Structure 1
Amino acid sequence: MSIELLFLLATLAIVFYIWQRRAFSFWQSRGVKFIRPVPLLGCTSQLLTGRTSFLEQIKKFHEAPGYENEPFVGVYLAYRPALVIRDLDLIKTVMVKKFQYFNNRVLQTDPHNDALGFNNLFFARSPAWKELRNKLSPVFTSGKIKQMYPLMVKIGKNLEDSADRLGSGSVVQIKDLCARFTTDLIATIAFGLEANALQIPKSEFFHHNKAVFAVSLSRAIDFAIIFMLPAFASLARVKVFSKDTTKFIRSSINFVLAERERTGLKRNDLIDILLAWRKEAAANPEKKHAANDLDYLVAQAAIFQTAGYETSSSTMTLTLYELAQKEELQDRLRQEIADFFGDEDHISYERIQEMPYLSQVVNETLRMYPIVGYAERECSQPVEGEKFTLSPYSNLELPHGMPVYVSALAIHRDPKYWPEPDKFDPERFAPENRDNINMDAYMPFGVGPRNCIGMRLGLLQSKLGLVHLLRKHRVHTCDQTTKTIELAAISPVIASKNDIALRLEKVSG
């Protein structure tokens, strides 16, 4: 080896050592307690080597030994400093009271490589986010959801029929069944399309919904970059929606938009909102309007479709798993269903909202398994020169662009807020026990103005699916049922590492 090469390598090693020392000195130099990083990988070695998921990584930061009494802890996402907030009052300050400093998410994708990912409501940055939220909110009002409800009931009956066709005693991969139900429901109420996932095993809608949240190493790497190191999203060419899925969604939504414009049909759904938005843009051609870009409209439909599919199907799946484990709770819920509906063919919107035990069961599922599992925000400066400080805990000023994380999964399993946190106990949410709950420690749909816009609809989907499935069926564990829910290490949301198999039993009442 030549002296010149040795000198070059030595120089590079010294430069790397100095850079790393500086990169990893951020928290120490500011007097903040932090989790010690390892070279190159920071505090995320398990995440970057595929041994844990991002939501579990944030949970581990929150629960790290030695920081139990700290309101926040500093970490390094690879080389990037970030803050994990543990204190509930500080969480409320960041997510709600001082939202003007934290109105953007950390995650983002490349607008040229992933138009549907970059432009949708979940990923959008201010001020575009605020306009999107205002435009889309009318879809999710109680009045609009009630108008959609008859269509939802029709899909609920299809779910009952599908369970009947499977036959009493059948062992079912329950997530597959629930995901087909939510695929059909979202396609119907949002777009006026029939996905037929419950009838057709190879439904295209179902295939593409499933692909977005596929549990694979390549998808895990994509989401790790999007969620943790978004500056590299363009370079790595990562996407929320694959090329095939983008093509399918774009084609489907463009078809529906064209048909609605041709026929003049109105259904008070998401498509009507998008069409009105496009007409508003067309009426003001001199004004640069995002709705003139068709992909901007398609992006909202895409996130509505995929997010609605995953969150509600996972909630249903995990509820059924817990009820199969504790059949006395299942008996109580089935009795409530019988008391409310008996042999009635129609499950009314008003009555399903009045079912106390059903609400308790779903709320407890979302406590144990908050589907996204964490919240994240990026610190910004709404007015130049103004910075956010961690007062009264610290005088530290957070720099522009600092990622801030909150682990809902850790807080939902913290015995300080939830006695016996690993026990599935719907009685926590009984009316007589509500005063014992610190509701600031319950955040299944996020926190603050950027919480889940579809919360009401998602809860109703899950409840309706559970009622239709359990009114004439029971679920039981079987030899193939996983003993405990172990989270998949390479999933962007809460998902079981193993398939959840349950045995269906047809019952008369």
Structure 2
Amino acid sequence: MWTLIGLLLGTVHVAFAAVYLYLTWFHGYWTKRGLVTAKPLTLLGSYPGLFGGGSSFIEDIGKIYNKYKGKQRAVGTFLTRKPQILVLDPQLAHEVLVTKFSDYRDTVTSSYVTHSKDDYDKYVARNPFFSAGDEWKKRRTDGGAGLTPNRLKQAYAIWEQTGEMLVNYMQRCIEERHSNIIETRDLCYRYTAQAMGDFIWGIDAGSLSGSPNETSSFQRFSMNWVSHAFLSMPRFNRTPIAPIVRKLFRMRFFTQESNDFYLKLTRDAAKLRQSGCGGERSDYLAHLMQLQEKGASLDDLVGHALTVLMDGFETSAAVLYHMLYTLGACPEQQEKLRSEILNALAADKHISYEQLNALPYLDQCINESMRMTSVIGFFIKICTRPTTIDLGNDKILKVEPGITVAIPSYQLHHDETYFPQPDEFRPERFDNGAASEFTKRGCLLAFGDGPRICLGMRVGLLNVKMALLRILSEFKVEQTKKLSLSSDSGLGMYLNGDVDLRYTRIKLSK
């Protein structure tokens, strides 16, 4: 009996020792290579927030960043048990993203879907954000060709119409509910659903034409689709501890239900366009038809469509409701922006594509809002070929292929060294084209930088600018309550709770 108990205890002891060795085996990796190491906080690495414990991944990054910034260009950390480099110097961030891009070509998200390929998560595997190497380059080239400034200019009427639908919906919402307080998160998703449904598939999404108490099927599917994808990110961020679990549990970003929905939508839209309906439109569907003529499969078309939807629906809406929330507490900046907009609008309230993109204070406000909220709070690149990092003080670090490099954009955006009083909304920071200079310095990374800069940046900005133009030319915006920020999505910082803003019709002098 006692022998059996002793054997069991010995087995348990050995098992625990094996697990301990497995989790901590690499914890001396950076010390041996001469890189200052942020001591792992737990057996699970430098970021306990990945596994709960009252913090988040971005908050854990912030603790390390604040401890070592100004002292080191980079420090060694561990994503679970996997060695990682945390960049602290914005110039090094620029080096990784731009000047040495070929050395850090891939992103950590591309490693998350290598088990998917063409079976159950085939559309996420076709998204450049989740692609690597030459596949990434081809998919980005093919998909991005439909998002050029000239293409968007040709499709500009879609946003003009959607902007009008937005303010009409807002007025109808106020009248039907007898209240000028509108939950603005839902409002922004309705707007971007309408714009993207029209631009990508040539459909009326129904999100702005129906009752405020109803949600169209397109908006509902798109909300569920993007929610599942973003909430899956923290789960995938934990998997470096045992990558095999991705395959064992068939982990996926997109559900089969959403795959079926968008496959049918794309197939039906393509057939309708091929029949001649809407053949004169210069939208993204027209671009998809051109790709099909060059040999792209239907699955390829769905993948491209969902790539644009990811940026144009979810991210654009997040930027928009965060900015409206911020402007609701900044009446002086709001009035200055409104004056610029009203001065630019013609008597018939028309503004051209070029004029909209040439409003300087609008650009400043958007850049400042994106700096403050950072809907993408970090970037993680993968070293793709042997390279080096100059650590300063005559120290050169050799970086091996497969090592990940984290760039803490949220912390850079809130570092008072680069942005004094970082928690204040001060659009004048970006006066006289300063945004491009901040980006070159590695301090402003709202869209990332370099060849893998956000593919949907232009369409996203067009979404946001048109909505702000129409809303602020018709309504005064005010906050009704203060909200906190969190990073539950696993990617960036988002407002918690309902974004209830008060919209009051403005009276313009004749």
Deviation at 1:296, TM superposition (A): 2.7
What CA distance in whole angstroms lies between the structure 2 residues aligned with 1:100 and 1:122?
Answer: 16
Deviation at 1:215, TM superposition (A): 8.3
| 1:314-353 Cα shifts (integer Å, max 9, x gaps) | 1111111111101121111112222111642323222212
Does the aligned pair in 2 maintain the 1:475–1:503 contact within 8 Å? yes
Paired AA for residue 426 in structure 2: D
Distance 1:434 1:6, change over 3 A: closer
Match of 1:164 in 2: 171
Paired AA for residue 196 in structure 2: I
Instruction: Please point out which of 339, 345, 351 is paired with 1:347.
Output: 351
Distance 1:19 1:239, change over 3 A: closer
Distance 1:232 1:93, change over 3 A: farther
What CA distance in whole angstroms lies between the structure 1 residues aligned with 2:383 and 2:405?
Answer: 7
What CA distance in whole angstroms lies between the structure 2 residues aligned with 1:53 and 1:191?
Answer: 37
Distance 1:50 1:115, change over 3 A: farther
Match of 1:126 in 2: 133
Distance 1:229 1:297, change over 3 A: farther
Deviation at 1:474, TM superposition (A): 1.0
**Which sections of structure 1, spanning at least 5 residues, go unmatched?**
282-290, 382-386
Does the aligned pair in 1 maintain the 2:229–2:254 contact within 8 Å? no
Does the aligned pair in 2 maintain the 1:75–1:83 contact within 8 Å? yes
Distance 1:22 1:432, change over 3 A: closer
| 1:364-397 Cα shifts (integer Å, max 9, x gaps) | 111112221222211112xxxxx11113544322
Distance 1:468 1:224, change over 3 A: same
What CA distance in whole angstroms lies between the structure 1 residues aligned with 2:129 and 2:353?
Answer: 28
- Tell me whether 52-61 or 173-182 shows the greater mean CA deviation: 52-61
| 1:410-455 Cα shifts (integer Å, max 9, x gaps) | 1111111111111101111122877985742111110110011221
Paired AA for residue 328 in structure 1: E
User: Pairwise CA RMSD of aligned residues?
Assistant: 2.5
Deviation at 1:10, TM superposition (A): 2.4
Q: Aligned with 2:350: secondary structure? A: coil
- Tell me whether 150-159 or 125-134 shows the greater mean CA deviation: 125-134
Instruction: Please point out which of 363, 368, 381 is paired with 1:364.
Output: 368
What CA distance in whole angstroms lies between the structure 2 residues aligned with 1:216 and 1:52?
Answer: 21
Match of 1:287 in 2: none
Q: Aligned with 2:77: secondary structure? A: strand
Deviation at 1:67, TM superposition (A): 4.5
Match of 1:238 in 2: 251
Matches within 5 A, 1:324-403: 324-341=328-345, 343-381=347-385, 387-391=386-390, 393=392, 394-403=395-404
Deviation at 1:260, TM superposition (A): 2.3
What CA distance in whole angstroms lies between the structure 1 residues aligned with 2:141 and 2:230?
Answer: 36
Percent identical across equivalent pairs?
A: 27
The answer as to 2:327 corresponding to 1:323 is: yes
Matches within 5 A, 1:426-465: 426-431=427-432, 439-440=440-441, 441-465=443-467
- Tell me whether 153-162 or 432-441 shows the greater mean CA deviation: 432-441
The answer as to 2:273 corresponding to 1:270 is: no
Provide the TM-score with structure 1 as the length reference.
0.89
What CA distance in whole angstroms lies between the structure 2 residues aligned with 1:426 and 1:402?
Answer: 37
The answer as to 2:63 corresponding to 1:41 is: no
Paired AA for residue 410 in structure 1: Q
| 1:477-497 Cα shifts (integer Å, max 9, x gaps) | 22xx2x243224345333212
| 1:193-238 Cα shifts (integer Å, max 9, x gaps) | 1111123322122112222343899646435347997664323322
Instruction: Please point out which of 20, 31, 49 is paired with 1:17.
Output: 20
- Tell me whether 156-165 or 362-371 shows the greater mean CA deviation: 362-371
Match of 1:423 in 2: 424
Distance 1:38 1:418, change over 3 A: closer
Match of 2:33 in 1: 30
Distance 1:79 1:276, change over 3 A: same
What CA distance in whole angstroms lies between the structure 2 residues aligned with 1:26 and 1:354?
Answer: 50
What CA distance in whole angstroms lies between the structure 2 residues aligned with 1:429 and 1:185?
Answer: 28
Paired AA for residue 494 in structure 1: M
Q: Aligned with 1:391: secondary structure? A: strand
What CA distance in whole angstroms lies between the structure 1 residues aligned with 2:468 and 2:18?
Answer: 59
The answer as to 2:269 corresponding to 1:256 is: yes
Q: Aligned with 1:322: secondary structure? A: helix
Match of 1:62 in 2: 65
Distance 1:352 1:362, change over 3 A: same
- Tell me whether 262-271 or 190-199 shows the greater mean CA deviation: 262-271
Distance 1:416 1:223, change over 3 A: same
Deviation at 1:244, TM superposition (A): 1.7
- Tell me whether 423-432 or 484-493 shows the greater mean CA deviation: 484-493
Match of 1:476 in 2: 478
Does the aligned pair in 2 maintain the 1:323–1:475 contact within 8 Å? yes
- Tell me whether 135-144 or 336-345 shows the greater mean CA deviation: 336-345
Deviation at 1:136, TM superposition (A): 2.1
Instruction: Please point out which of 183, 200, 210 is paired with 2:223.
Output: 210
Distance 1:184 1:223, change over 3 A: farther
**Which sections of structure 2, spanning at least 5 residues, go unmatched?**
none
What CA distance in whole angstroms lies between the structure 1 residues aligned with 2:362 and 2:230?
Answer: 36
Instruction: Please point out which of 195, 210, 217 is paired with 1:185.
Output: 195
Does the aligned pair in 2 maintain the 1:184–1:195 contact within 8 Å? yes
Distance 1:356 1:298, change over 3 A: same
Match of 1:279 in 2: 293
Match of 2:73 in 1: 71
The answer as to 2:298 corresponding to 1:299 is: no
Distance 1:229 1:175, change over 3 A: farther
Match of 1:284 in 2: none
Paired AA for residue 41 in structure 1: L
Deviation at 1:157, TM superposition (A): 0.2
What CA distance in whole angstroms lies between the structure 1 residues aligned with 2:55 and 2:465?
Answer: 31
Matches within 5 A, 1:60-139: 60-63=63-66, 65-107=67-109, 108-109=112-113, 110-111=116-117, 112-139=119-146
